[in-house]
Every structure is written in C-alpha cells, then in structure tokens.
A and B are shown apart, each in its own frame.
Chain A
C-alpha cells in the first residue's frame, strides 16, 4: 500500500498570512494532484503536476513537485477566509488510480 503523508494536519491562521502545506511519500509518483474540499461537498481538483521540479501557480496558490517526484508542497500567499477548507494531495503510481493523503484542514480567520 502506497502512503501519502500530509503536514500539518490542522492549520489556523489570520487573514493575510502565508502558509505552506506538505505532501510526502517514500515512493515515486507518476503524477500528483491537489484538491480542495469544503464541508458537505466533494473534492475539487486544483492542479495536476507531472514533471519533477515543476511549479504551477493558480492566483495566490503555488504548487511545487519535488525533483525526485516523491513530494509536493502547496504555498498560499496572503490567505483569505475563502481559502478555508480541507486540502488533499493525491498520488498516482499505477497510472490510473489515486491514493489520497489524510489532508490538511485550513482555517483562515478574518
């Protein structure tokens, strides 16, 4: 069983602060996805990274894929209350199935 560890599990910050969440594994991914999930809803895809060292930006969110394709990070600049939610990373090893990490629950207070 492939494992993905996310850290921190919980994060509570004030509006305007920056934050980084991490996703780590001892295995090499074919690709990695980041999702955001709000209460009562299913996860929504934010980004897919495929190439080692790849950096993708989505407004105030920056996603980085490790050079060895074993880890990834999500950095949020100037967090806003609307960023509150559960952030999930999901790795693909076999080419057609995802394994999800446990998630980082983010709360941004106004």
Chain B
C-alpha cells in the first residue's frame, strides 16, 4: 500500500532463531502498530508505538519486542521463534485518533 511497506514479504525460519520484521512508512504518521492474523482469531495487536522510542504492549506481546528509533521505521523482533508464531504479520499506521488505519501488505512468517 502507498506510504507503508513491510519486509520481508515471506520468510521461513527455524525454531529458536531470532527474526526481525520491518515496517517502513513515508507518511510521517505518529502511530504505528503490529498485528498478527490467524484463522479463528482475527487480527490481534502485538505492540504499538505512539512516537519515537515510545512503545507499549498489546494483547499478544509475549515473545515479541519492538523498537522505533525513527519515525518512519517500526521493527518487530521475535527473540527466539516458536511454531506458535507462524502467522501473517501486518503493520499499520495512523496519523490521528480519528483516522482509519493504513495497513501494509503483510509478512507471512513460517517457523519450522
């Protein structure tokens, strides 16, 4: 989607390895979010950020960490990947509380 890109688009990794997913925006939006989407669970919030170096946990944050050192980049790290973290990960951005979210195209992560 315009203004927001996720990388990589697909990744296969082994259990126990660290993995970092990147979300990059060119919109200068304040808020950035990481969600995971799984069948039967819908979209669930992992972590979010409301500014540079300002982050907080979401509903399913265990096993994940994030960093935001620049407005445009929001990184999601799986310190030691597990099979339960196999999912599709979406990044989203928002400018103000009255805006809809703009989502990235997603990263399909498979942990084997």
The answer to whether A and B belong to the same complex is no
